[in-house]
Amino acid sequence: MQDQTTGQELKDRLNLIETMIAEGRRNTESWGWTFVVWGVAYYLAVAWSAWGHSVWAWPATVFIAVIVSIVLAFLKVGNQPGTTLGRAIGSIWIALGISMFLLFLALGLSGRLTDQHLFVAVISAILGMANGASALILRWKVQFACAVVWWVAAVTTCFGTDAQSTIVFLVAIFLCQIVFGIYGVIAGAQERQRRGPIHA
């Protein structure tokens, strides 16, 4: 067979293999929007718990955010194939959502969600862990910077006043959810535009 196949053809075949493997593994959907959705959810929960003084503020908001995320993800993913990498990242965030929902539901209902500093420290540490794990798997420095911001927030909130703790939490949400989410959406769109169509 190779008698009829030129060297250029063989090189083309090699390039085709590389392009297609990369295409299959590439996560073709941008997940930046989920960070924005959850950022908005956190702000709503903070506002509700601050002014409404309801024990349901956090569990209800987290529950609604989980439902919104599942519906939007189902609509956006469509027929995208699953990859091992995608499942690894997805499992981190699904486990985080379940943990936060159960923890804050139990704390709220038991009436033990009274120490704001502890609350901010716990939620920031959990988010730092999830962002850190995801960043290490993806080797994504920007997301690792978000993990560092959450870890800093978790530590500093233990020492400041109530007002300082609130400011630290709100700033961390803004940087790591809203700004990072919008960055993810833009970066994803640019990546898809740059790639263009492939031909087999």
3-state DSSP call for residue 57?
helix
Q: Which of 53, 75, 81, 196 binds another protein (CB under 8 A)?
A: 81
Q: Which of 54, 80, 99, 190 binds another protein (CB under 8 A)?
A: 80
Helix axes 162-173, 141-156, angle to 10 degrees: 170
Using the minimum distance from each CB to another protein, give the nearer residue, 87 or 112.
Answer: 87
**Footprint (CB under 8 A) of another protein, residues 160-199:** 197-199
Return d(Cα 196, Cα 181) in angstroms, integer. 23
Using the minimum distance from each CB to another protein, give the nearer residue, 3 or 139.
Answer: 3
Return d(Cα 155, Cα 120) in angstroms, integer. 10
**Footprint (CB under 8 A) of another protein, residues 87-146:** 87
Minimum CB–partner distance for residue 143 and another protein (Å):
22
> Is residue 76 involved in binding another protein (CB under 8 A)?
no
Q: In this structure, what are the phi and psi dihedrals at residue 176, rounded to the nearest 5 degrees?
A: -90, -15
Return d(Cα 130, Cα 6) in angstroms, integer. 50
> Is residue 82 involved in binding another protein (CB under 8 A)?
yes
Return d(Cα 5, Cα 95) in angstroms, integer. 51
Binding footprint of another protein, residue count (CB under 8 A): 28
Residue 54 CA, distance from chain mean position = 27
Q: Which of 83, 118, 138, 148 binds another protein (CB under 8 A)?
A: 83
Q: Which of 53, 84, 114, 141 binds another protein (CB under 8 A)?
A: 84
- State the CB neighbour count (10 A cutoff) for residue 127: 25
Q: In this structure, what are the phi and psi dihedrals at residue 26, rounded to the nearest 5 degrees?
A: -65, 135
Using the minimum distance from each CB to another protein, give the nearer residue, 163 or 200.
Answer: 200
In the complex, the residues that contact another protein under the rule CB under 8 A are: 1-2, 5, 7, 10-11, 13-14, 16-17, 19-25, 79-84, 87, 197-200
